[in-house]
Chains A and B, each alone.
Chain A
Amino acid sequence: MQKENLIKINNYLWEIPQSFRSDMLVPARFFANEKLMGGILKDRSLEQLINVCTLKGIKRYGLAMPDIHEGYASPIGGVAAIDIEEGIISPGMQGYDINCGMRILCSEYSEAEIKDKISKLAEKIYQEVPSGLGKGRKIKMNMSDLDKILERGAQKLVNDGYGEKEDLENCEAGGFLENADASVVSLLAKKRGQNQVGTLGSGNHFLEIQKVSEIYDEKIAEIFGLFQNQIVIMVHTGSRGLGHQVATDYIKEFMGLMDKYQIKIPDREFACVPFKSPEGQRGFRASQAAANYAWANRQMITYYVRKAWEHVLGKKTSSLKTLYDVAHNIIKLEKYKINNQLIELAIHRKGATRAFPPHHPDIPAKYQEAGQPVLIPGSMGTTSYILHGTKEAEQSFYSACHGAGRTMSRHEAIRKVQGQELKKAMEDQGIIVKVGFLSGLAEEAPAAYKDINEVVEVVHQAGLAKKVVQLKPLAVIKG
């Protein structure tokens, strides 16, 4: 892709016109500034974004967030809004890690109050929350309980005593999607999920103990319950092997149905069927069930983090409160005005965070004035951000970035960055590092990612979400 082929809409928004390729059904739009543009043009991410624009039923634009980078099928950072009456459902347009997402837990402590306990807390959390690279959790869940998790997500665990009502109030969709159906999730997927509720996973999944390092919007920070130097805990994980299997199962099934439905796609990973077809509906209900599993996973991790918190800080300490929990790989039904008609769309987000505005009916009552908390992790050991949703984000179907976005392959990072040196460099900055594998640390090195500050600045300036606070890591825990 050459820059000459792009139309500059404004300083933060670019368009590839529909005329660029004959199979595009809508133009492509992506958010970036000049600085990020160099990296975006280097890989195949814009070609992949153009492919998104060929999906049947896509409305307005194929979209990408400023952390866009090359993936498979859609680029990471891609958003496709598909008309459910005339369009398709594509598991590859949400990715294999269904409902990979973020949760932030807030403490009532400032850094100064518990500084001497952070190391012990990190060690205890590391012990309590397995990465899952090993044997998962020791106890296998029975199939009946697993089915309940698939249909009721985090709510099932809260009802069983693994959390508080407020955890559900402050979770996207209240912790579960009602369209989920455990009966359309394969036995193989369920077997993979039996001992992984409460596990972190590898790759870019992590837990961090962080502090609020800068406040940009005092009023909204207060609504979110955030204050300067406050200790918070960030959780990044998804639906683990169960979700991977659900995506694998339906991509395989849909690939075999493409001829039947006479659908043409530029990349097999987009395998899709009409949303309203019987197969499409099954795939959708399975995807929603996997999303519920992910919310249960983050809920169970919350339970173990709280256990570690109480162990280190004492039983009388105030509990960690869930600020918010939001997915960045998901297919959701949302209503938007298209040509002055309110229609239901299947919003496919692959590496994009939902960012609902103030007064949206689907966000908690206490955030009605502020808009939804938008949780954006930086790369390991760098800053993260909490933003709030805005009305202006309607242009991106209320979506923002999901992180910094990679610029270097994992293996190049492992080759270029010595895990031990990186660990030392982070420790020299006062960051405690609890990691299972040094190579796992190296592949997530900050040098392998775009500058999170730059990416978030584009989100802020483009109005997709507005900055509330910046977070700095005090301890990094990963598999």
Chain B
Amino acid sequence: MTHFERSEKKGSERSEGSYSFKILPHPADVKLQITASTKEELFQGALAGMASIISSEAKNKVLPSRARQVLIDAKLSKNAQIVKENIEVQSLDFNALLVDFLSEVLAKTDISHTVFNKLKIKKLTDNFLQTEIEGQKIDYFGQEIKAATHHGLEIKQDKSGNYGVTILFDI
């Protein structure tokens, strides 16, 4: 499976390496629950989960005859243009850092029409992140995300040392 596929079943869970994410129901918006073995993987999982929300519905395209909507399938063609960007985020604390990072990615997604799903972390502390993000250009988003919110967000570590968090996205 690629990062861009997501089951639409309620509470379905996907696992990628040492992180997993699932979409939880919310009356108006979308909640993304991530668990990961490290802080770095937590950021990777959040990025992959957000990419999944942005791109997944694109496979439900209709009206293929519309010339101005030449939609590259969300699975992305081999020819899709790869985009890399550098991000530096300074935040109030670790919880805010995750939201601020995703907010930066959303802005870049909006401007460059790219779905970012991979990252190479160069430096990560409790309130600072320096990373390269990588993604692929798409012609059409499946779901527009207005914002990653701080609502009720708390990164927790369980007894086995795994990190977990739920992020509410305004869509």
Instruction: Tell me whether A256 and B147 are in contact (CB under 8 A).
Output: no
- Which residue on A lies nearest to B110, using beta carbons? A241
Best-surrounded residue of B96, B142, B147, B153 (most CB of chain A within 10 A): B147
Task: Please tell me if B1 contacts chain A, counting CB pairs below 8 Å.
Answer: no
Please tell me which stretch of B13-21, B26-34, B35-43, B78-86 contacts chain A, meaning at least 4 of its Cβ atoms lie within 8 angstroms of it: B26-34
Task: Please tell me if B88 contacts chain A, counting CB pairs below 8 Å.
Answer: no
Question: Contact string, B62-106, partner A, CB cutoff 8 A, digits 1/0?
Answer: 110010110000000000000000000001100010001001001
Question: Contact string, A242-277, partner B, CB cutoff 8 A, digits 1/0?
Answer: 001101100110011000000000011101000000
Q: Which residues of B contact A97 (CB under 8 A)?
A: 146, 170
Instruction: Tell me whether A252 and B103 are in contact (CB under 8 A).
Output: yes
Q: Which residues of A contact B113 (CB under 8 A)?
A: 134-135
Q: Choose from B57, B139, B143, B170 the contact partner of A72 (Cβ within 8 Å).
A: B170
Chain A interface size range: 35 or more
- Which residue on A lies nearest to B54, using beta carbons? A133
**Distance A132 CA – B143 CA, assembled complex (angstroms):** 11
Given contacts A191-B111, A241-B110, A437-B58, contact A269 B26 (CB under 8 A): no
**Distance A439 CA – B141 CA, assembled complex (angstroms):** 12
27 contacts between A and B (CB under 8 A): A69-B27, A72-B29, A73-B151, A96-B146, A96-B170, A97-B146, A97-B170, A127-B68, A133-B144, A134-B139, A191-B107, A191-B111, A192-B107, A203-B144, A203-B171, A241-B107, A245-B107, A248-B103, A248-B147, A255-B96, A409-B30, A410-B28, A415-B8, A435-B63, A436-B61, A437-B61, A439-B142
Instruction: Tell me whether B25 and A437 are in contact (CB under 8 A).
Output: no
Instruction: Tell me whether A132 and B144 are in contact (CB under 8 A).
Output: yes
**Distance A255 CA – B92 CA, assembled complex (angstroms):** 8
Q: Which residues of B contact A (CB under 8 A)?
A: 8-10, 23, 25-30, 57-58, 60-63, 66, 68-69, 91-92, 96, 100, 103, 106-107, 110-111, 113, 139-144, 146-147, 149-153, 168, 170-171
Q: Which residues of B contact A290 (CB under 8 A)?
A: none
In the assembled complex, the CB of A358 is this many whole angstroms from the nearest CB of chain B, namely 33
**Distance A255 CA – B60 CA, assembled complex (angstroms):** 38
- Which residue on B lies nearest to A258, using beta carbons? B92
- Which residue on A lies nearest to B96, using beta carbons? A255
Q: Choose from A69, A73, A130, A415 the contact partner of B10 (Cβ within 8 Å).
A: A415
**Distance A434 CA – B65 CA, assembled complex (angstroms):** 13
Q: Which residues of A contact B (CB under 8 A)?
A: 43, 69-73, 76, 95-97, 127, 130, 132-135, 188, 191-192, 201-203, 241, 244-245, 247-248, 251-252, 255-256, 267-269, 271, 406-412, 414-415, 419, 434-440, 479
**Distance A202 CA – B144 CA, assembled complex (angstroms):** 6
At the interface, is chain A mostly helix, strand, loop or mixed?
mixed
Best-surrounded residue of B10, B27, B68 (most CB of chain A within 10 A): B27
**Distance A414 CA – B110 CA, assembled complex (angstroms):** 24
In the assembled complex, the CB of B54 is this many whole angstroms from the nearest CB of chain A, namely 10
Instruction: Tell me whether B30 and A410 are in contact (CB under 8 A).
Output: yes
Instruction: Tell me whether A408 and B57 are in contact (CB under 8 A).
Output: no
Instruction: Tell me whether A437 and B107 are in contact (CB under 8 A).
Output: no
In the assembled complex, the CB of A315 is this many whole angstroms from the nearest CB of chain B, namely 24
Q: Choose from A133, A191, A251, A411 the contact partner of B25 (Cβ within 8 Å).
A: A411
**Distance A73 CA – B151 CA, assembled complex (angstroms):** 7
Instruction: Tell me whether A71 and B29 are in contact (CB under 8 A).
Output: yes
**Distance A256 CA – B10 CA, assembled complex (angstroms):** 36
- Which residue on B lies nearest to A71, using beta carbons? B28
Q: Which residues of A contact B153 (CB under 8 A)?
A: 268
